[in-house]
Amino acid sequence: MRFSELSHRLPQATAKTLTQQLRDLENDGMIHREVYPVVPPKTEYSLTVQGRSLAPIVEAMCAWGEQNMKNLIIS
């Protein structure tokens, strides 16, 4: 996925914040950054095996949040 796609999907994130988060995720081995030698520059990001291994955990957290949203809002 390209930076512009990520930025479009996360409109609340500033370019600076998104850039820093992507760097951190890359440094942690969660994403891979591929830079293509073309003009204009093209960079794509993808999940690594380690990053993809988090999918079941994130899905479970989303499901828990959906199931408990009413209780969380009330309290």
- pLDDT tens figures, 34-54: 999 999 999 999 999 999 999
Residues 56, 57, 58, 62, CA torsion sign: positive
Evaluate if residue 75 carries a pLDDT over 90.
no
Topology, domain 3-74: Arc Repressor Mutant, subunit A (1.10.10)
Evaluate if residue 60 carries a pLDDT over 80.
yes
Evaluate if residue 55 carries a pLDDT over 90.
yes
Locate the domains of the chain by residue range. 3-74
Average confidence score pLDDT of the chain = 95
